[in-house]
């Protein structure tokens, strides 16, 4: 007969951490969130570590080259989605690796015959007030001028007014030529009291902007994740169908780490892909695998040579695998069991294989719970999809700005490779939904708040590192009544939009 687990599986929302003694030096500023990303042997260091324990999901709606740069700048890694052509994905990797810190390609561009109405729509879409006016409206077209918020006043100008009538023309602009160093560019900005400095080719084509605000951010950002050549660390997703063509292309493009993207990693297909990597590249190419939810799945992928292993099936906010197929496990229980298996594997073999909690994280404190339960880092989709840096559109719905967000198993993504079981090359039924998430602004601001909560909770547990958190954490299951007790209750909450509401 079938095997039955004696205990029900649990989610992160069913647990709380119990505080431990905190000494005087246990403050958020002293915490270290650096964590290994890839396997390593006892007594050695991981060949690749990240400075914050967060990576972005391998999803069309989450991780492109823009997200890769933004997240590496904050100390994490984005895995550029693989449900696109090999050439398109490799080009995204190249763009992210070629990104020169401080030099921002223009993503707000317009032609001179556009109108003020077009400028306002573009600003609403991108959130950027500096717009490059190029001859063809592309980021690399001939620069004709700039439009900033100082160039127009919607209350006093006709919306049909042409951009060329109010833009600051090129002959009135301070700009620099391609090849200028970042230090030289920043000196020009300070000398001329500029907010933005356009960088152009000798022929006058737009290359990038250097912004005054980025100088301050760079100085304030000691956690940015760089490779040996001072380029941002970039990840990329691969599948088990076209890996023989995709992996070499991504390696050639400069990807620092790869990850097999599958809803179920306990399969011969993943073992074959890992074997291909090891036979062709040895240990030089780093590749994670997954997803699994138990000890057997972990051991299988660890023995197959995975550099890290993702944990979780059906726990993502847009994932309906459990509903569609009845496959999965409560994410907290899955992480706890796989973490134990990882530690057993380390004791037996002397090889430490990091694990990644993928899915099931709804609130910020769930990240800390996942780390306390044993994961080395977390993969997030919905969380990052809300930000300016995600590749989806910002839309206004019922007076509220939202961002589009869809699952790789949805009809929109059609990423059948992620759910491949060796049959036909098609998505037979949906395992994900098409949805919206509330727009939240910039990645940097939101991530800073999230990590502040993680650091504070670690201090409540008397821990200054993730390893110490795992050693000192005390966790308790909570009842539904205690979950309700944990939020605001028995009061009238103030709400500026709707008056008072009872809680």
Comparing 300 with 217, the larger pLDDT belongs to 300
Q: Are strands 143-147 and 131-134 parallel, antiparallel or unpaired?
A: antiparallel
Of 26, 319, 356, 459, catalytic: 319
Q: What is the mean pLDDT of the chain?
A: 92
Mean pLDDT of 38-53: 98
Of 95, 246, 342, 418, catalytic: 418
The model's pLDDT over 91-103, given as tens digits with 9 standing for 90+, comes to: 999 999 988 767 8
378 is catalytic: no
- From CA 157, how far away is CA 233, in angstroms rounded? 45
CB atoms within 10 A of CB 328: 22
Cis preceding linkage at 392, omega within 30: no
pTM listed for this prediction? 0.81
418 is catalytic: yes
- From CA 324, how far away is CA 120, in angstroms rounded? 43
CB atoms within 10 A of CB 424: 9
Asked whether the predicted pLDDT for residue 501 surpasses 60, the reply is no
214 CB burial (10 A radius; 0-12, 13-18, 19+): buried
Asked whether the predicted pLDDT for residue 419 surpasses 90, the reply is no
Asked whether the predicted pLDDT for residue 503 surpasses 60, the reply is no
The model's pLDDT over 395-405, given as tens digits with 9 standing for 90+, comes to: 999 999 999 99
Q: pLDDT > 90: what percent of the chain? A: 77
């Amino acid at each position: 007969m079938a095997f039955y687990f004696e205990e029900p599986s649990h989610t992160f929302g069913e647990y709380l951490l119990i505080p431990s003694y905190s000494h005087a030096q246990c403050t958020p500023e002293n915490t270290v969130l650096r964590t290994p990303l890839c396997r390593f042997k006892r007594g050695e260091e991981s060949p690749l570590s990240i400075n914050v324990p967060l990576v972005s999901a391998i999803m069309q709606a989450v991780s492109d080259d823009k997200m890769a740069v933004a997240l590496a700048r904050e100390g994490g890694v984005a895995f550029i989605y693989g449900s696109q052509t090999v050439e398109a994905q490799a080009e995204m990797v190249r763009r992210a690796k070629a990104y020169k810190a401080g030099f921002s390609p223009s993503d707000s561009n317009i032609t001179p015959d556009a109108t003020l109405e077009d400028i306002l729509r573009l600003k609403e879409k991108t959130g950027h007030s500096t717009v490059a006016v190029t001859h063809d409206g592309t980021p690399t077209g001939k620069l004709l001028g700039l439009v900033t918020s100082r160039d127009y006043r919607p209350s006093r100008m006709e919306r049909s007014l042409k951009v060329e009538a109010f833009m600051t023309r090129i002959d009135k602009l301070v700009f620099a030529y391609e090849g200028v160093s970042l230090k030289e560019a920043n000196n020009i900005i300070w000398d001329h009291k500029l907010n933005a400095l356009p960088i152009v080719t000798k022929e006058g084509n737009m290359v990038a902007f250097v912004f005054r605000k980025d100088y301050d951010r760079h100085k304030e950002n000691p956690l940015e994740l760089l490779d040996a050549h001072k380029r941002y660390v970039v990840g990329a997703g691969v599948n088990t169908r076209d890996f023989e063509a995709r992996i070499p292309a991504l390696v050639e493009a400069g990807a620092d780490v790869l990850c097999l993207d599958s809803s179920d990693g306990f399969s011969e297909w993943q073992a074959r892909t890992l074997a291909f990597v090891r036979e062709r590249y040895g240990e030089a190419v780093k590749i994670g695998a997954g997803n699994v939810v138990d000890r057997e799945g972990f051991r299988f992928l660890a023995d197959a040579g995975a550099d890290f292993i993702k944990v979780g099936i059906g726990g993502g906010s847009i994932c309906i695998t459990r509903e569609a197929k009845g496959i999965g496990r409560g994410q907290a229980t899955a992480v706890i069991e796989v973490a134990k298996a990882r530690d057993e594997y380390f004791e037996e073999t002397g090889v430490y294989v990091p694990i990644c909690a993928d899915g099931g994280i709804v609130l910020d404190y769930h990240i800390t719970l996942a780390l306390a339960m044993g994961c080395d880092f977390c993969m997030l989709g919905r969380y990052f999809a809300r930000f300016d840096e995600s590749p989806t559109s910002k839309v206004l719905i019922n007076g509220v700005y939202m961002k589009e967000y869809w699952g790789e198993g949805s009809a929109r993504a059609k990423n059948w490779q992620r759910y491949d079981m060796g049959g036909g090359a098609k998505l037979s039924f949906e395992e994900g939904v098409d949805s919206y998430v509330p727009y939240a602004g910039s990645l940097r601001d939101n991530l800073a708040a999230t990590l502040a909560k993680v650091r504070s909770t670690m201090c409540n547990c008397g821990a200054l590192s993730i390893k110490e958190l795992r050693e000192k954490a005390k966790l308790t299951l909570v009842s539904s009544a205690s979950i309700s007790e944990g939020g605001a209750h028995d009061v009238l909450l103030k709400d500026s939009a709707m008056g008072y509401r009872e809680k």
